[in-house]
């Protein structure tokens, strides 16, 4: 818990040039701060529908590794992440009441090698909603249909099962359809005709959500009230695809006023896109800035009103589940910090990082498979750093708009550093604060931007093999670093490919200590 008097400054250095030293002066003016307003659970996740049983487990075998990682984030930001259960496979899922397993899927490599595209789910699928305490979920209903005639029966059957499994304590919001702007144009599995437009989409969405509400009114009446029956939408894949969100909104998507979150999806580039690199793509702040701002412009064009918050309902580094060596690297963790904090500064109020079993960009691999080893992956450490920077969102100060990356003097205390400026020493000029003489330094560290292991946050490891994702303090990493503030200025050394959190004010070790039992090296220490 961070006292409200403290100020956090994030220094993100994603340079890959070595042996070059420059100085960057960052000027902070307390009268010229523009703040975002993130919601509780800002660092949240989107889990591929077909992978959800792997990530969560079931009543008899809950996935405690996943829950430990969620607890770590929750301790830092004040609430455990909100979980969106959806993605492409939600629109393939057909309900089979006689299925004795949670999910039976068939992979067709010509459609996707990474997830099944023919899916049956059984009653036990919904057990997975009971395994993680104090987590709220959104459930994704099948709108696309996958050209299966059973889709309408599936909608009514799963609406009943989902509302009974979630109830008021676990329900976040509902979602009907994933990325409908690709329904007519997906070369691998088009599920709508080429002339399907925004008006057609809106009519289908209103009809389908009316069916869902009628089922909920009958089976879960406490979830059918005006305040409880809410959606995230439109969950489009981008701002320039076959359907446009402003036109869908103008055609009446929110006529029934049940959309609580305007949900955008964003990927900086594609896993198979030529020319994608760490430095030029993921660690390029200008590219991230332009990508995020396009969604903000879209939201502002619609101007849905204060009652509809803007969120990233699904996002990650490179679509098509990421590329090995890029999406699972420390550079991707640095990208995640830059992306999430820029979203927060522009009042995108919650960010759901997408992941699935065997996905290259996932924050963790939940189970052992023939394609991937169970474990905590580099992007998770970026998620931890974001949660630590924002602190307890119920009480902490709000983040500020990052400055342009090409100026040497900036205003605003959230600083996203230029990925091309290889700076080993940073001077930060601070506005005067009575009694502030010391700054606490916490570092996200790895041996280079291409590292996929050996990553720590403030000396903590969250690796599966140490204590199933619970925090373990490593003895070989320097922690407890402080810097004196002299005449309103402090100097911080920031090596290439590192992120640093500077906290002004409270120096208490408990400000960002991890949750639950923790270990130093190999000995358990419950007092941390």
Residues with catalytic annotation? 198, 314
Sheet bearing 23-27, strands edge to edge: 23-27, 425-429, 489-493
Q: What is the CA radius of gyration of the chain?
A: 23
Q: Which uninterrupted H or E stretch holds 307? A: none
Which residue, 379, 266, 356, is CA-closest to 319? 266
Separation CA 354–CA 338 (nearest Å): 16
Check if the beta carbon of residue 431 is closer than 8 Å to that of residue 28.
yes
DSSP track, 165-215: HHHHHHEEEEEE-S-GGGTTT-SS---S-TT--HHHHHHHHHHHHHHHHHH
How far apart, in whole angstroms, are the C-alpha atoms of residue 1 and residue 17? 36
For residue 322 the two structure tokens come to 């990421």
The label of the residue with tokens 């503030």 reads 485
Rounded to the nearest 5 percent, the helix, strand and coil shares of the chain are: 30, 25, 45
- Lookup: tokens for 145: 């249909």
Phi, psi of 104 (to 5 degrees): -125, 115
CA-to-CA separations, 19 to 302, 425, 426, in angstroms, rounded: 48, 12, 15
CA dist., res. 431 & res. 73, Å (int): 30
At residue 344, the 3 state secondary structure works out as: helix
Name 13's bridge partners. 498
């Amino acid at each position: 818990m961070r006292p409200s008097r403290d100020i956090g400054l994030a220094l993100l250095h994603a340079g890959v040039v070595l042996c070059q030293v420059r100085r960057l002066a960052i000027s902070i003016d307390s009268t010229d701060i523009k703040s975002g307003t993130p919601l509780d659970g800002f660092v949240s996740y989107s889990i591929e529908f077909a992978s959800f049983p792997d990530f969560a487990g079931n009543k008899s075998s809950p996935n405690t590794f996943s829950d430990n990682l969620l607890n770590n984030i929750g301790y830092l930001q004040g609430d455990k992440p909100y979980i969106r259960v959806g993605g492409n496979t939600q629109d393939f899922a057909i309900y089979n009441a006689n299925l004795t397993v949670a999910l039976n899927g068939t992979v067709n490599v010509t459609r996707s090698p990474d997830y099944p595209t023919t899916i049956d789910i059984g009653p036990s699928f919904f057990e997975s909603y009971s395994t993680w305490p104090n987590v709220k979920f959104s459930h994704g209903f099948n709108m696309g249909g996958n050209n299966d005639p059973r889709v309408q029966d599936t909608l009514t059957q799963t609406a009943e099962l989902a509302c009974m499994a979630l109830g008021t304590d676990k329900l976040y919001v509902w979602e009907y359809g994933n990325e409908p702007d690709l329904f007519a144009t997906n070369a691998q599995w088009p599920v709508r005709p080429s002339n399907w437009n925004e008006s057609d989409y809106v009519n289908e969405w209103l009809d389908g959500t009316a069916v869902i509400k009628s089922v909920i009114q009958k089976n879960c009446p406490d979830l059918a009230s005006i305040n409880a029956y809410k959606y995230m939408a439109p969950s489009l894949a981008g701002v320039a695809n076959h359907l446009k969100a402003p036109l869908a909104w103008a055609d009446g998507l929110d006529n029934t006023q049940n959309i609580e979150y305007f949900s955008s999806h964003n990927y900086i580039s594609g896993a198979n896109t030529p020319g994608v690199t760490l430095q030029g793509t993921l660690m390029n702040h200008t590219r991230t800035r332009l990508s995020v701002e396009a969604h903000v412009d879209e939201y502002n064009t619609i101007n849905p009103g204060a009652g509809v918050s803007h969120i990233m309902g699904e996002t990650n580094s490179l679509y098509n589940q990421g590329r090995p060596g890029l999406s699972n690297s420390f550079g991707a963790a640095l990208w995640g910090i830059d992306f999430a904090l820029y979203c927060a500064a522009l009042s995108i109020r919650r960010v759901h990082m997408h992941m699935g079993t065997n996905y290259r960009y996932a924050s963790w691999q939940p189970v052992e498979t023939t394609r991937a080893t169970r474990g905590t992956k580099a992007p998770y450490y970026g998620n931890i750093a974001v949660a630590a920077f924002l602190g307890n969102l119920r009480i902490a100060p709000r983040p500020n708009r990052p400055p342009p990356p090409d100026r040497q003097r900036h205003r605003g205390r959230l600083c996203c550093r230029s990925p091309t400026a290889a700076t080993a020493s940073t001077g930060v000029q601070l506005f005067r604060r009575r009694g502030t003489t010391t700054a606490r330094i916490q570092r996200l560290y790895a041996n280079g931007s291409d590292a996929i292991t050996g990553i720590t946050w403030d000396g903590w490891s969250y690796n599966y093999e140490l204590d199933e994702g619970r925090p373990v303090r490593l003895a070989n990493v320097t922690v407890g670093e402080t810097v004196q503030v002299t005449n309103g200025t402090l100097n911080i050394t920031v090596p290439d490919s590192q992120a640093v959190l500077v906290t002004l004010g409270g120096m208490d070790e408990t400000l960002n200590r991890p949750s639950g039992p923790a270990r130093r090296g190999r000995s358990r220490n419950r007092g941390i």
